[in-house]
Structure 1
Amino acid sequence: MPISHVSMRAGKPESYREAILDSLYQALRDTLDVPEGDRFMTLTEHDAANFRHGDAFGIARTDDLVYIAITLFNTRTVAHKAALFRRIAELLAERPGISPENIFVTIYDTPKENWSVGNGEMQFGPGKPSHG
């Protein structure tokens, strides 16, 4: 049950933005067994004055950089997260053609009881069935 937020510089066509979300969703399905239809994602575009990056950590980035923040249950292993990072880079390189140095991913893992996915209910808290 991840929720993903992508931030990028404005100016890319709709097909490019859709390819980012589709590839990200596929990477989540491939590595974390995210179920079909579990597609909770946003993409926000920023003009040049409101989008900054640098070459920290020895990585030369360009204005094609995408920031990807993924919040998910705290049940994933380090190996799951490493596989997800690799798969996101692979799929975004294929479609829409983003070079790996321009893919910046952060994972926020939270306890299941911190989630309400609708109706004002705690669907995944103590005593609730296990999901994701």
Structure 2
Amino acid sequence: MPLVRIDLVSGKSSEYRTALADEVYKAMTGTMNVPENDRFMVINEHKDYNLVADPAYLGIQRTRDVVFVQITLNAGRTVEVKKAFYAQLANKLAERINLRKEDLFISLVEVPKENWSFGNGVAQYA
């Protein structure tokens, strides 16, 4: 059900990009009750001038290595579940690829279940 979009500055290794995708998936299945094998992701790399992140918004010191993670998913998760997801993802990316927690920007976009078609022109969840 989730569709994940990961945007980052170009030049990172394939291992780095794989780690981003893996840890997002693990955090979703570990905290947000996302089913196994429900893995749909797009990773985009950009020239550094095509990613804009204020370097100090809300007192968080960001670098040019900022990573944007946007997840479109079914509506209905609690604030506590979302907070657990944010924390797990930030911790695991810091451990695995040394991504500064300050450089992880996450946005969840919640939609009704009938807004999905996984193929065959069918709304499988409607």
TM-score range with shorter-chain normalisation?
over 0.9
Deviations 1:30-66 (A, max 9, x none): 1012222111111100002211211211111001110
Instruction: Give the letter aligned to residue 57 of structure 1.
Output: L
Question: How much has 1:75 moved relative to structure 2?
Answer: 2.0
Structure 2, unmatched stretches of 5+, are: none
Q: Distance in 1 between matches of 2:112 and 2:14?
A: 34
The answer for the alignment partner of 2:40 in structure 1 is: 40
The answer for the alignment partner of 1:130 in structure 2 is: none
Q: Distance in 1 between matches of 2:90 and 2:110?
A: 20
Q: Percent identity?
A: 42
Tell me whether 1:65 sits opposite 2:37 in the alignment: no
How large is the RMSD of aligned CA atoms in angstroms? 0.9
Runs of 4+ off more than 4 Å? none
Q: Distance in 2 between matches of 1:7 and 1:110?
A: 21
Deviations 1:87-129 (A, max 9, x none): 110111111110100000000000001111111111111xxxx
Structure 1, unmatched stretches of 5+, are: 126-132
The answer for the alignment partner of 2:109 in structure 1 is: 108
Decide whether the 8 Å contact of 1:24 with 1:91 is kept in 2: no
TM-score (norm. length: structure 2) = 0.95
Decide whether the 8 Å contact of 1:69 with 1:105 is kept in 2: yes
Tell me whether 1:26 sits opposite 2:14 in the alignment: no
